[in-house]
């Protein structure tokens, strides 16, 4: 019998949700017995090599590359899970949402205290750079999301319980202590 296939990715965020997944500690060995990873920093596979059963994706969408990665995940994953506050609501990167993009770029590259010497006032404009979006979008505003795992980052136990429930077909019964924000 083949194992369920999981893919993971990080968009505009801090990679903390992946760190929480690694914080399941020795249970990672049990997880490897239950699933196969595909397209994930966990196994360093950079592109999809097959359709995946579950996609875990953290971070919001702040540029065109994030949107492309997210749409590719939706296309290649039967179930898509928004992991963490950045994926669910935009998180800290969304703090820029009330500021025009031009002001953000000017502060970052031309006028900010930490810019240094940019006497020519050059703004990065290489065609390979992704275009910054008008705001940071939560994933469900771009594609259909099947499940949400809250937290900043979600606790390791929450990630463990959710993934195991999905791959074993058991009902997900998350104790309040795993999702509370006191």
Predicted pLDDT at 7? 97
For residue 169, what is the domain's CATH number? 3.40.50.700
Residue 14 belongs to some domain of the structure = yes
Domain of residue 13 covers 5-96+133-179
105-128 mean pLDDT: 86
User: What is the tens place of the pLDDT at every residue in 132-148?
Assistant: 999 999 999 999 999 99
User: What is the tens place of the pLDDT at every residue in 1-24?
Assistant: 789 999 999 999 999 999 999 999
Residue 158 belongs to some domain of the structure = yes
Which residues face 148 on adjacent strands? 82
Instruction: Provide, rounded to the nearest whole percent, the portion of the chain with pLDDT above 90.
Output: 78
Least confident residue range of 105-109, 110-114, 171-175, 176-180: 176-180
Sheet holding 5-10, edge to edge: 36-37, 5-10, 52-58, 77-83, 147-149
- Give 178's pLDDT tier (boundaries 50, 70, 90): low
- Over 60: is that where the pLDDT of 182 sits? no
CA–CA dist 87, 52 (Å, integer): 19
63 burial type by CB count under 10 A (0-12 exposed, 13-18 middle, 19+ buried) = middle
Closest CA to 12 of 104, 113, 147, 75: 104
Predicted pLDDT at 117? 77
Residue 126 belongs to some domain of the structure = no
Neighbours of 155 (CB within 10 A): 18
Residue 108 belongs to some domain of the structure = no
The DSSP H or E segment spanning 137 is strand 132-137
Residue 163 belongs to some domain of the structure = yes
Residue 106 belongs to some domain of the structure = no
CA–CA dist 86, 159 (Å, integer): 16
Residue 71 belongs to some domain of the structure = yes
Residue 150 belongs to some domain of the structure = yes
Predicted pLDDT at 121? 84
Domain count, the chain: 1
């Amino acid at each position: 019998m083949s194992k369920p296939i999981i893919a993971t990715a990080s968009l505009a965020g801090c990679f903390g949700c992946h760190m929480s997944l690694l914080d399941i500690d020795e249970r990672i060995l049990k997880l490897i017995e239950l699933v196969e990873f595909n397209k994930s920093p966990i196994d360093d596979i950079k592109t999809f090599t097959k359709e995946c059963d579950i996609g875990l994706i953290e971070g919001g969408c702040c540029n065109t590359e994030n949107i492309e990665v997210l749409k590719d995940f939706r296309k290649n994953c039967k179930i898509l899970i928004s992991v963490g506050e950045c994926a669910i609501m935009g998180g800290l990167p969304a703090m820029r949402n009330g500021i025009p993009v031009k002001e953000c770029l000017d502060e970052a590259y031309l006028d900010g205290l930490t810019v240094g010497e940019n006497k020519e006032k050059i703004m990065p404009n290489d065609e390979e750079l992704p275009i910054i979006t008008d705001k940071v979008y939560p994933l469900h505003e771009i594609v259909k999301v099947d499940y949400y795992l809250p937290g900043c980052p979600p606790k390791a136990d929450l990630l463990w319980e959710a993934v195991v429930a999905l791959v074993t077909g058991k009902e997900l019964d998350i104790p309040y202590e795993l999702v509370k924000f006191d």
